[in-house]
Structure formats: structure tokens, C-alpha cells
Amino acid sequence: MAIDLSFRRKALRTLTNDIGCYVLCDLDQVPIYVGQSVDGIRTRVNRHLTSARSDIIANRQIDVWEIAWVWAYPVDRAAIATLERALFHSFHAVSALMNGKVPIGSESIFHLPAPAQKVQVMKTAVSYTHLTLPTNREV
């Protein structure tokens, strides 16, 4: 699959730049990293995806081309740390996240909020299920 940088740039422009938490996901929308930003979600995610000042990319914890979806959770500054812990411990229990630091504590929020925004930043792979492949013929 060819990398479509223009698709990624265009998609990132639609991502909110409010402060809050975000989840980076793979093509199957499986969370692979939970983060927070007090500078703006779009700004922080863009740094991850361009390897500019991103520890998880620099330390080769995540390849930027593994990230296909971004889920945004804008919240007030006072709620960021609590939400990040709750998201991390909820998603990490299902599938190991690649965060370098584990948020301390295990915030229990009865019901995690749905993301305010889900933005696809990598095109889905082309499906070839409609093709008929030749079969082996007996000789």
C-alpha cells in the first residue's frame, strides 16, 4: 500500500486542537497509545506523526505508519490527568499499549466517555476480496 501523505495532512487539519487526551490506534482501531496535551490535541498528534519531539517515535516504540486513527477527548485542564489514567488502564487491560510511562493510579470511571472525534489519518488498505484467483487444475 502506498503512503498517502496528502490524505494524512488533510485528515490532521480536521482534528480538534482543544486540550485534552487522545488515543492513537491502528487500522483495526485497536488503541496502541494514550496521550494528553495541554498545547492542543492536533498540535501534539502532529508532532507524533512527523517525529518532531516525540519520545515514542524517537525511541522506536511506535512506527508513525502504524497509526491510522486518532480518537480525541477534549476536556478541561483539571480533568486531563484523570481521563488519561482512565483511558490508559481501560485500554491497556484489553491490549498492551506502547506508552513509555504508565500513568500512576487506576482511575475508575464508571463509563468512559466516547471520543468526541475519531479521525482516520491513514487510508484503509485496498480490499481484493472481489477478485477470483485461479485454482490449481488437475493434470
Among candidate residues 110, 75, 120, the one with its CA nearest the CA of residue 90: 110
Q: What is the DSSP string of 34-65?
A: EEEESS-HHHHHHHHHTTTT-HHHHTTSS-GG
pLDDT digits (tens, 9 = 90+) for 76-96: 999 999 999 999 989 988 888
Q: 73: exposed, middle or buried (C-beta count within 10 Å: 0-12, 13-18, 19+)?
A: buried
Tens of pLDDT, residue by residue over 60-74, are 567 778 899 999 999
**Greatest C-alpha distance within the chain:** 73
Please tell me the pTM assigned to this model. 0.80
Higher pLDDT, 97 or 40: 40
Domain-embedded: residue 47: yes
CA distance 12 to 9: 5
In a domain, 61, yes or no: yes
Span 30-57, average pLDDT:
83
pLDDT at 15 over 90: yes
8, 2 in Cβ contact below 8 A? Answer: no
- Tell me the average pLDDT across 100-107: 72
CATH number assigned to the domain comprising residue 74: 3.40.1440.10
Structural domain range at position 40:
5-120
Residue 81 neighbours by CB distance under 10 Å: 16
Is pLDDT of 58 > 50? no
Provide the domain count of the chain. 1
C-alpha cell at 80: 486531563
54 assigned to some structural domain: yes
| Residue 139 scores a pLDDT above 80 | no
Q: Residue 137 above 70 pLDDT?
A: no
Instruction: Tell me, yes or no, whether 14 lies in a domain.
Output: yes
